[in-house]
Structure 1
Amino acid sequence: MQKKVIRIIGVPIDLGADRRGVDMGPSAIRYAGLNARLKGLGWKVEDYGNLEVPVPETREIKDKRLKYLEEIVTINERLHLIVSEAIKEGVVPLILGGDHSLGIGTLAGLALSEKSFGLIWFDTHGDYNSLDTTESGNIHGMPLAVANGIGAPELTSIGGVKKKLREENTVIIGAREMDPQEKELLRKSKITVFTMRDIDQVGMTEVVKQGIKIASQGTDGIHISFDLDVIDPEEAPGVGTPVAGGITYREAHLAMELLADSGRISSMDVVEVNPILDNHNKTAKLAVGLICSAFGEQIF
């Protein structure tokens, strides 16, 4: 990966989830030293600042099956244009969340550019719910389905192209908690899912190598979407939806180091850091370390 410009885009959104706090994620990650660390690796850093996002207390939930739909559409409409512009300028967009509903805008922006992309989605959850399958109405559980053209038209139409990703170039790594109907939809798709059992059985190295191969076939680059809840809560306590039994600190870094070695990363988002639930900004510091590993920081 040729070092050039990274454009940091903060999206302090927590409208997509029930639990408050991830709106402070971009600030926590910046406070943990992200910009300086990236500059130290030889990258030029352009910090775009944060998108303006309303707080939930100033809005009403009009449909409990799609909470804060209008607001989330508006934010992702703005985000997709910013991401698309970065790709067209040859800049690497790095989006800081916020909850994972921002993935709708990120993937729409990538699809709007002339470049094709593979996708590796590090997440405890499948994020493949829709209006028909959601049990919570939380849109942060829907972005991958929306990007594949499944869900409310208001969401799938962002960017003007209903289907934003290639299923055969899409990989989920670290899944360990999914709704029954969500599992069934993913089984019917061409998306590759590596669960925690797969990582336990064959190791993170083999899983990531297979993931890179799948996401690279016929694409110009790989987008990494990293939800910090994929990591075990012992290592990353400050996340919106913690689930026991996640990947370890070293497995997470190894995955990023292997992706850096591939030279294929073209964009990245890092989501669901919740400082309210954290311990001395531990999770945000981990997020910074993982981002730096993805962008070339090495042990030796």
Structure 2
Amino acid sequence: MTEYFHWHGRDDRPGDEHARWFTTIIDAEAEPVPPNAITLVGFASDTGVARNHGRVGAATGPTAIREALASLAIHDDRVRADAHTITYTNTSDLEAGQQQLSDTVAALLDNGSGTVVTLGGGHETSWASHRGLRQSHHGDGKSIAIINLDAHFDLRTSDIATSGTPFKQIADAWPHDFHYTVLGISEPNNTRILFQTADQLGVTYVTDDALADLTAAEAAELVTKAAATADILHLSIDLDVLPAHVAPGVSAPATLGVALPQVRAMCLAAAHTGKLRLVDVVELNPTYDVDGRTAKVAARLIHDITTVLPHP
């Protein structure tokens, strides 16, 4: 099922000088989307989180992110579009929902969207969105680097998809083009087998402790380096990479986390590469948010990424 969010927010007066997200965003299913638009698509599901024994609530994440984005001011002429939200809340329907998201991402990219931003949902979103990127003409014969800002590897092996399996699923599906970097790993929150799996798969990772010793500029350089040899970049932002006081509304709050200025610098570095075709923002759980704090952080990161993406 696909649901549309009706954008609304603070309306000062008409004119580009008063533009905000809600006054400028295009309904991708109601009107033509120009080439190289930035397109949002939501994936509302708690199933992956529930299967991974996390606290549910991420299904309402896409709506909360859009509400936080709506009144942010627009200072450029980039076209932003909304391709609605794919909603699958029944456990037995997760794989069907993931297939619909894959097909939607592929269609958006093939129809001219420059960058697709998926709004989760749990991290199971990333398996579906990445598969969509691979299905599109952008993924045809191209080398794709994945950069995941996350406290967890999400490399679990399981008979069913969960929020903890997406990057193992990607590694199994494309073993000869698996270029995966995780920035923000919490050592106490990843078992020994997950570190062993990461090493076996050639994963590059930096812990939250190591990132704490870096400046924002040095953290950004990690992203630039990870993207250097790839044709295309997939950036996945798991909001639980941030400290719990910054992002309380997530499925698994971080005790330490990575500071917001570093996370923001890494996001901007990804956008500046000119290779960014897919962004996931996942694990927002509004049920546990405080004053919309986590949703506002998610919105600011999306806003900043879309603002600095190079114009075609």
- With normalisation by structure 1, the TM-score equals 0.81
Cα deviation 1:228-252 (Å, max 9, x = unaligned): 0000011111101112110112222
Q: Percent identity?
A: 24
Please report how far the alpha carbon of residue 195 of structure 1 lies from its aligned counterpart in structure 2 after TM superposition: 1.2
1:108 and 1:164 in contact (8 A); partners too: no
Cα deviation 1:244-300 (Å, max 9, x = unaligned): 1101122222222222333332220100111110011110011010111222359xx
Of residues 150, 154, 157, the one that matches 1:123 is 150
Alpha-carbon separation, structure 1, partners of 2:103 and 2:264: 30
Alpha-carbon separation, structure 2, partners of 1:118 and 1:164: 13
Alpha-carbon separation, structure 1, partners of 2:161 and 2:38: 30
Q: Secondary structure of 2:87's partner? A: coil
Alpha-carbon separation, structure 1, partners of 2:75 and 2:44: 26
Could you tell me which residue of structure 1 aligns to residue 89 of structure 2?
54
1:80 and 1:105 in contact (8 A); partners too: yes
Q: State yes or no: 1:78 paired with 2:100.
A: yes
Of residues 220, 223, 231, the one that matches 1:211 is 223
Alpha-carbon separation, structure 2, partners of 1:51 and 1:40: 29
Alpha-carbon separation, structure 2, partners of 1:31 and 1:207: 29
Superposed, 1:1-300 pairs within 5 Å as: 4-18=36-50, 19-34=55-70, 37=72, 39-55=74-90, 68=91, 70-91=92-113, 92-115=115-138, 116=142, 117-131=144-158, 139-149=162-172, 162-163=173-174, 166-167=177-178, 169-176=179-186, 177-219=189-231, 221-296=232-307
Q: Are the structure 2 counterparts of residues 85 and 202 from structure 1 closer, same or farther at C-alpha, using a change threshold of 3 Å?
A: same
Q: Secondary structure of 1:17's partner? A: helix
Aligned length, in residue pairs: 264
Alpha-carbon separation, structure 2, partners of 1:293 and 1:27: 19
1:127 and 1:145 in contact (8 A); partners too: yes
Q: Are the structure 2 counterparts of residues 113 and 138 from structure 1 closer, same or farther at C-alpha, using a change threshold of 3 Å?
A: closer
Structure 1 residues not aligned, in runs of 5+: 56-67, 150-161
Alpha-carbon separation, structure 1, partners of 2:85 and 2:236: 18
Cα deviation 1:146-197 (Å, max 9, x = unaligned): 0111xxxxxxxxxxxx227723x32111111212211110011122111113
Alpha-carbon separation, structure 2, partners of 1:10 and 1:233: 24
Counterpart AA for 1:87: L
Please report how far the alpha carbon of residue 40 of structure 1 lies from its aligned counterpart in structure 2 after TM superposition: 4.2
Counterpart AA for 1:256: C
- With normalisation by structure 2, the TM-score equals 0.78
Deviates more, 1:110-119 or 1:199-208: 199-208
